[in-house]
Structure 1
C-alpha cells in the first residue's frame, strides 16, 4: 500500500496485521478519488472506521486540511499513528479511539461549527450500518450539502438511492467490494 497522489505521493503505508481489517487496495483508492474529484481545496475529512488510515491520509495528501480518524481496534490505532508519522505532519490528523458512533457525538459536541467536506464509511461488512451512520452525522450537524460521502461495502449490499439530503451519484464494483458515492442535493 502507498499514497497514490498529492503531497505524500509514493510514500508507503503499513497495513494492520491479521484479518480484522480490510485495507482498501491502491487500485480502489485511486478509483475513489477519481470519482470524487482528485484534489481538495481544504476542509475536514472524517474516516469513521479507519483501519490503517490510508484513505484519510490520501485525502490530506490531496488537499484536505485536517482528517479525523475513528477506530476501535488497538492494533489498527497503532498502525494509524505509524502511518501518520510517515507524513511528518501529525498536526493535520486527530485519532479517536473507541466506538465510532460515540466518537461522532463527542466530536460534534466539541466542534459545533465544523462540517465535513468528505466522510468515509468503511465499516466491518457484517456490521454495515452506513444508512444509520449518515443519519447520525446529519443529526449531529457534521454534514451539509457540500459533503461527499464515500461508502465501501460488500458488493452484495446496496444502499438506497437517497439517504437524508444525499443522492447516490455513483456505484462501482471491484471484485467482492462495492463503493457508493453520495452527494448533497
Structure 2
C-alpha cells in the first residue's frame, strides 16, 4: 500500500495486521482520485471509517487543506497517526478514535470531500449517509465518495444532496453524492 501521487508519492504506508480491515486496492484508489482529481486541492476532507487512513493521506498528498480521520479501532487510529507522520502530514491531520455516528452527531464543521468505506457487511454506510445529509455536513458542491459491495443499493438522500454516478470495479462499486450549490 503506497501513496500514488503528489508530495508523498511512492511512500509506503503501514497496514493493520489481520483481516479486520479491508484496504482499498491501489486500482480502486487510483480510480477514485481520477474521478475527483479537480475537487481535492484546498478542500477539507473527511475520511470516515478510515482504517489505515490511505484515502485521506492520498488527498493530503494531492493538496487537500487538511483531513479528519475517524475510525472506531484504537489500533487503526494509531496506524493513521503513524502514516500521517511518515508522509509529513501530521500537522494537517486530525485523528479521532471513536464511533462514526457519534462523531457525525457532534461534528461542527463542513467538508468539501468525504470518503466512506465501512465494512461491507454492515449497514453503517446507509446510516452515515443519512446522518450526513440530515446535519448538512458538506460544503456547496461537496462530494461524498462511497465504496461498497457491487450488489449494495444505496439510498437516495434528501436535497440538497443528489446521488451521482456509480462506477464498477469487479466486485466493488463506487457511488458519488454531491451537495448542490445554492440550496
Q: Normalization by structure 2: what TM-score?
A: 0.90
Per-residue deviation, 1:106: 2.6
Q: In the alignment, is the contact (CA less than 8 A) between 1:36 and 1:181 conserved in 2?
A: no
Per-residue deviation, 1:3: 0.5
Q: 2:131 aligns with which of 136, 140, 160?
A: 136
**Matching of residues 168-179 of structure 1 within 5 Å:** 168-179=163-174
TM-align CA RMSD: 1.6
* Cα distance in 1, alignment partners of residues 139 and 40 from structure 2: 16
SS, match of residue 145 in structure 2: strand
Aligned residues: 179
Q: In the alignment, is the contact (CA less than 8 A) between 2:133 and 2:157 conserved in 1?
A: no
Residue in 1 that maps onto 2:95: 95
State the Cα deviation string for residues 96-138 of structure 1 (Å, max 9, x = none): 0110110122332xxxxx3100011111111133233122123
Gaps of 5+ in 1: 109-113
Moved more, 76-85 or 48-57: 76-85
Residue in 2 that maps onto 1:13: 13
Gaps of 5+ in 2: none
**Matching of residues 23-172 of structure 1 within 5 Å:** 23-37=23-37, 40-108=40-108, 114-160=109-155, 162-164=156-158, 165-172=160-167
SS, match of residue 168 in structure 1: strand
Q: In the alignment, is the contact (CA less than 8 A) between 1:138 and 1:144 conserved in 2?
A: no
SS, match of residue 50 in structure 1: coil
Per-residue deviation, 1:142: 1.7
Q: In the alignment, is the contact (CA less than 8 A) between 1:47 and 1:56 conserved in 2?
A: yes
